[in-house]
Structure 1
Amino acid sequence: MQQAIAILDSGVGGLTVAKEVMRQLPREKIIYFGDTARAPYGPRTPEEVRLFTEQIVDYLIQYDPKMIVIACNTATAAALDYISSKVTVPVIGVIHPGARAAISATKTGHVGVIGTVGTIGSGAYTAALKQLSPYIGVESQACPELVPLVEHGLFRSKDSLQVVERSLRGIKDTSIDCLILGCTHYPFLMHTIQTVMGPNVKLISSADETAREVSTILYDKGQLASSMEGPVHQFFCTGDPEIFQSIATEWLGEHIKRTPVVWQITKL
């Protein structure tokens, strides 16, 4: 049986990473877990987020994944090192890939970061950026209203522009030339965020760079999938399956069936 790449998130945000992994590595099977019943993670304590992440990983390990991707910035900041110490397979997060992409993109050395309260409060992005380039200037801002907007499937609603405008007040008026979307939910709002920030600010999603890192690690370990047959992905959530199914089907561009094989609602 083909070993899968396990991708986990507080909700639907990690689907942005899953979509990019599917695009770059179409032979790879993905097992996705969205903790939609307990989203958002941003306002929670690091201890809670670490516990939730550990519970999800403990659940996913039964499927014998060859890699775990923590596709949640808040969980990456709170639990990446801890989870890495607990399992024998590679574990990667989304913060360092996003930081690398921003360093490559900035022309002025002045980078913005938006994220959840937990991610911004952790200082993880500033630390990652400074580690790569000590002289980089960083502007950070928490945007707690954006994740609920996406989780409820309202990212295309007429009210989304007003919410995004309100959330980006402050950082919009800085001199940044690129903005890291420091939450995997935010690419659902990419067009609206770009409209608010204007054409002179490049938006950075960690999904592309994270997928490249997945590819590099699996190649180095000789674990890239070789099957010519299309993989059957599996999706799990802890909350409302209809909302998750609707968002996932729209975002991934393929129908996600709810069957005992490829769908399960899991209570942790």
Structure 2
Amino acid sequence: MDNRPIGFLDSGVGGLTVVKELMRQLPHEEIVYIGDSARAPYGPRSREQIREFTWELVQFLLKKEVKMIVFACNTATAVVWEEVKEALEIPVLGVILPGASAAIQATKNGRIGVIGTPMTIQSDIYREKITNLAPQMVVESLSCPRFVPLVESGEIKGSLSKKVVYETLAPFSGSGIDTLVLGCTHYPLLRPIIQHVVGKEVTLIDSGAECIRDVSVLLNYFEINHERGKFPLKHRFYTTASANQFQKIAEEWLGQAIQVEQVTL
């Protein structure tokens, strides 16, 4: 048993979609979350900036004495996850490989779409992971730079978000994909609109949610599960931008009251 918390990092609020899944699958685990909304989105930034910012988030979580770190950010996973994983003694998980594996299992016609931030798509890491596992797959990737600002602003249900999603995903019309990877943890907050635009026959893969299955496996493997029922959980959420804005989005998405603290990295 290990009663230390699990650390989550993201460029903003998107990683809350991963936290929600952890709360569902592993409700006995404690959470420390840091979202760098002040510098979001990471997608259009240079690799060096993403690397620098991500390491700052990692160091913040290490000071909170976490037992594991989850990269709840596809862009950070694509750029620096391998480096951080090799440097730390605690387990470090990313969201890309679980999402790639789930897409391969879900597709029936072998045509998979991937949407993500400019950096994630530029890295081509989803295509690489998918075709390494299943070379026969056809992967079509699309950058969606307008999605993260929509989510960070809380604009996830109105006419503007519907317009942006429809225009952005237009290239998938007639593509024949039957599976679409949401290759950014912000995107599940737009899931109903994305599903409507691509059609109900397309299976959506939430890479962050898939990652929690790997978290569960590693907790069991290393025998570092939190003791159940002995201690009250004290989830902690931190943001580099407005605590009020983060709290509003988080409470709506998680369906519970939380405390948020603004910090400077």
Q: TM-score, normalised by structure 2?
A: 0.97
Output the CA distance in 1 between the equivalents of 2:63 and 2:144.
Answer: 35
Counterpart in the other structure of 1:260: none
Q: Could you give the per-residue CA deviations for residues 102-135 of structure 1, whole angstroms, max 9, x where no partner exists?
A: 0110001110000000000001100110111011
Q: Distance in 2 between matches of 1:172 and 1:150?
A: 24
Which secondary structure state, in structure 1, belongs to the residue aligned with residue 52 of structure 2? helix
Matches of 1:172 and 1:6 in 2, distance apart?
38
> What amino acid is aligned across from residue 252 of structure 2 in structure 1?
E
* 1:103/1:133 contact within 8 Å kept: yes
Most deviating of 70-79 and 224-233: 224-233
Contact 2:114 2:181 in 1 (8 A): yes
**Alignment match of 1:264 (pick from 254, 257, 261):** 261
CA contact (8 A) 1:249 1:256 kept: yes
- How big is the shift at 1:256? 1.4
Q: Which residue of 2 aligns with 1:88?
A: 89
Question: What residue in structure 2 maps to residue 189 of structure 1?
Answer: 190
Q: Aligned-pair distance for 1:63?
A: 1.3
Unaligned 5+ segments in structure 1 are 258-262
Shift of 1:46: 1.1
Partner of 1:252: 254
- 1:166-195 residue CA offsets vs partner (Å, 9 max, x unmatched): 110102330100000000000000000000
Assess if the C-alpha contact under 8 Å between 1:27 and 1:230 holds in 2: no
Shift in Å at residue 199 of structure 1?
1.3
Unaligned runs of 5+ in 2: none
Shift of 1:230: 4.3
**SS of residue matched to 2:258:** coil
Summarize the alignment of residues 165-180 of structure 1 with structure 2, pairs less than 5 Å apart: 165-180=166-181
Query: What TM-score do the two structures reach when normalised by structure 1?
Result: 0.96
1:1-268 paired onto structure 2 within 5 Å: 2-228=3-229, 229-257=231-259, 263-268=260-265
Question: 1:100, 1:148 → 2: CA distance?
Answer: 28
- CA deviation vs aligned residue, 1:43-101 (integer Å, no higher than 9, x gap): 00111101100011111101111110001000000010111122110101000010011
| 1:25-45 C-alpha deviation (Å, 9 max, x unpaired) | 000001000000000000001
Distance in 2 between residues matched to 1:77 and 1:46, nearest whole Å = 10
Moved over 2 A (4+): none
Aligned residue pair count: 263
SS of 2:159's partner is coil
Q: Letter of the aligned partner of 1:195 in structure 2?
A: H
Q: How far apart are the structure 1 equivalents of 2:46 and 2:131?
A: 25
Say if 2:72 and 2:95, in contact at 8 Å, map to a contact too. yes
CA contact (8 A) 1:178 1:204 kept: yes
Kept in 2: contact 1:17–1:207 (CA 8 A): yes
What is the rounded CA distance, in whole Å, between the counterparts of 1:205 and 1:96 in structure 2?
Answer: 12
Q: Name the CA distance, whole Å, in 2 between partners of 1:208 and 1:152.
A: 22
In angstroms, what is the RMSD of aligned CA positions?
1.0
Separation (CA, whole Å) in 1 of partners of 2:36 and 2:218: 26
Contact in 2 for aligned 1:26/1:230 (Cα 8 Å): no
Deviation at 1:219, TM superposition (A): 0.3
Q: Counterpart of 2:257 in 1: which secondary structure?
A: coil
Give the partner amino acid of 1:239: A
**Amino acid paired to 1:146:** F
State the alpha-carbon separation in 1 of the partners of residues 63 and 161 from structure 2: 39
Aligned-pair identity (%): 48
Shift of 1:2: 2.4
